[in-house]
């Protein structure tokens, strides 16, 4: 995977979703419009909520038709391309892996190629295994005990593409769902908790993973035509990854920022994917951070020296941390709880799920609709 480093003025380390979003100040509407263009034919984006729940065998089936908010299934690289489009040429330095951070008046970043950079503000957007989060003495993200794999299928002739709803099958140790991105592309995901050593081994072997997935789906109430479509996915889709998250209480205690250094996105709040909010909340971080830093830097005094500027940056990052601490806590905790419950097996949990499924849907909608203010 490429490493992108933004290279102008204040430094950002890593640039998955957050770095890019923050850098071009999102330009909300342009970006949104650009993202809509390739996906115009998607059926989502209408004005009412209809989420249906039904019990199908041991599985809870949920279908989301017509979202209250404009919800779209989007390829990640399209988002990155849309965000990167507004950046001045040459401000991204690719493949610049940071290996260490040296404390000084301005932190010095050391790169794998031996070069160094001094930075006035360091925003670590370097994902799950963040070097910056380590430097801030955050504990490592922890394993959730669940695994995930996901895939995309391009098949314009397939009638499933025309269903235009997101469908989920939850229970008996698995979560499976699929959603059309447009009339030609279907996204599917599968998360599960391995119940024996054989299922853990599947993580490293795409063939075993495919076998495991088909086995689980064939024993579920997922429609046969959907299973057949998933089976056609490219071999590269059948790669499982362990799902990690940050303990929510680490977010309350940990240093989101220190001096002129902070973290954002997965570097701050890695979460399990049940709410589909990892990248979305990374964008929220970017908006809040841009606002805090923007306001601080605009307050510049006429005779101001480096010392005062450093203090203003520090204060801006503290404000950002205050704004994001509880939000990160609630997202990580809610994702974990929802995932755990949705996937759970057994009679008692099925009973609990039936009672709580409306609540789970409410949580999903509620947390996915934050107001992170204006830029």
Ligand X SMILES: Cc1cc2nc3c(=O)[nH]c(=O)nc-3n(C[C@H](O)[C@H](O)[C@H](O)COP(=O)(O)OP(=O)(O)OC[C@H]3O[C@@H](n4cnc5c(N)ncnc54)[C@H](O)[C@@H]3O)c2cc1C
Contacting positions for ligand X (CB under 6 A): 1, 3-4, 13-18, 97-98, 125-127, 131, 148, 150, 189, 265-267, 273, 276-280, 282
> DSSP readout, 207-240?
HHHHHHHHHHHHTSSS-HHHHHHHHTS-GGG---
Please, which residue, 16 or 312, has the CB nearer to ligand X?
A: 16
Give the C-alpha separation, 22 to 27, whole Å.
10
In angstroms, what is the minimal distance from the CB of 131 to ligand X? 4
CA dihedral in degrees (336, 324, 251, 293; nearest 10)? 140
Closer to ligand X by CB, 125 or 309: give it: 125
- Identify the helix (H) or strand (E) that includes residue 351: helix 347-367
CB of 127 to ligand X, least distance (A): 3
Q: Could you tell me if residue 344 is left (phi over 0), alpha (psi between -120 and 50 degrees) or otherwise beta? A: beta
- Cβ-based nearer residue to ligand X, 125 or 212: 125
CB of 14 to ligand X, least distance (A): 3
**At its nearest, how many Å lie between ligand X and the CB of residue 373?**
19
Judged by CB, which is closer to ligand X: 148, or 287? 148
| Three-class secondary structure assignment of 71-97 | CCCCCHHHHHHHHHCCCCCCCEEECCC
Closest CA to 182 of 201, 163, 208, 209: 163
Q: Nearest approach, Cβ of 303 to ligand X (angstroms)?
A: 37
The CA-atom distances, in angstroms, between 42 and each of 62, 181, 207 are 19, 6, 32
In sign, the C-alpha dihedral spanning 129, 131, 124, 138 is: positive
CA dist 52 and 237 (Å) reads 29
Instruction: Tell me the pairing of strands 261-263 and 257-258.
Output: antiparallel
Least distance from ligand X to the Cβ atom of residue 104, Å: 19
Chain centroid offset of residue 40 CA: 23
- The whole-angstrom separation of Cα 280 and Cα 286 is 10
User: Which residues are within 8 A (CB) of 368 and not within 5 positions of it... i.e. 6 or more apart?
Assistant: 69, 71, 275, 276, 277, 280
CB of 265 to ligand X, least distance (A): 2
Minimum CB distance to ligand X, residue 109 (Å): 9
For ligand X, which is the closer residue by CB, 55 or 361?
A: 361
Contacts of 296 (CB under 8 A, 6+ apart): 312, 313, 315, 316
Select 61 or 188, whichever has its Cβ closest to ligand X.
Answer: 188
Q: Is 59 helix (H, G, I), strand (E, B) or coil?
A: strand
Smallest gap from Cβ 305 to ligand X, in A, equals 31
Whichever of 235 and 299 has its CB closer to ligand X, that residue is: 235
Nearer to ligand X, 122 or 341 (CB): 122
């Amino acid at each position: 995977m490429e490493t992108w480093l933004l290279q102008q003025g204040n430094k950002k380390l890593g640039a998955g979703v957050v770095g890019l979003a923050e850098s071009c100040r999102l330009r909300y509407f342009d970006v949104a419009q650009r993202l809509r263009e390739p996906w115009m034919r998607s059926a989502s984006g209408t004005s009412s909520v209809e989420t249906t729940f039904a019990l199908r065998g041991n599985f809870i089936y949920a279908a989301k038709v017509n979202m209250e908010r404009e919800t779209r299934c989007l390829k990640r690289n399209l988002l990155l391309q849309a965000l990167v489009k507004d950046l001045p040429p040459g401000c991204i330095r690719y493949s610049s892996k940071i290996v260490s951070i040296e404390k000084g008046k301005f932190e010095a970043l050391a790169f794998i190629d031996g070069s160094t950079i001094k930075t006035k503000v360091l925003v670590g957007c370097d994902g799950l295994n963040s070097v910056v989060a380590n430097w801030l003495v955050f504990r490592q993200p922890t394993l959730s005990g669940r695994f995930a794999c996901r895939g995309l299928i391009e098949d314009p002739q397939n009638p499933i593409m025309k269903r235009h709803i997101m469908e989920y099958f939850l229970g008996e140790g698995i979560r499976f769902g699929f959603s059309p991105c447009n009339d030609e592309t279907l996204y599917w995901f599968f998360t599960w908790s391995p119940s024996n050593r054989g299922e853990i081994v599947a993580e490293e072997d795409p063939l075993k993973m495919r076998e495991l997935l088909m086995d689980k789906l064939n024993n579920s109430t997922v429609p046969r035509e959907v299973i057949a479509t998933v089976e056609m996915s490219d071999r590269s889709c059948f790669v499982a990854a362990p799902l990690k998250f940050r303990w929510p209480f680490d977010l309350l205690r940990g240093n989101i920022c220190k001096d002129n250094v902070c973290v954002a996105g997965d570097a701050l709040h890695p979460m399990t994917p049940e709410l589909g909010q990892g990248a979305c909340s990374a964008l929220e971080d970017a908006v809040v951070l841009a606002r805090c830093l923007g306001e601080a830097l605009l307050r510049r005094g006429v005779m101001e020296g480096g010392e005062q500027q450093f203090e203003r940056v520090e204060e801006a990052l503290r404000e950002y941390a205050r704004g994001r601490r509880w939000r990160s806590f609630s997202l990580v905790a809610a994702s974990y709880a929802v995932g755990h419950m949705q996937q759970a097996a057994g009679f008692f949990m099925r009973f609990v799920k039936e009672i709580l499924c409306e609540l789970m849907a409410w949580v999903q909608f509620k947390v996915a609709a934050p107001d992170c203010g204006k830029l």
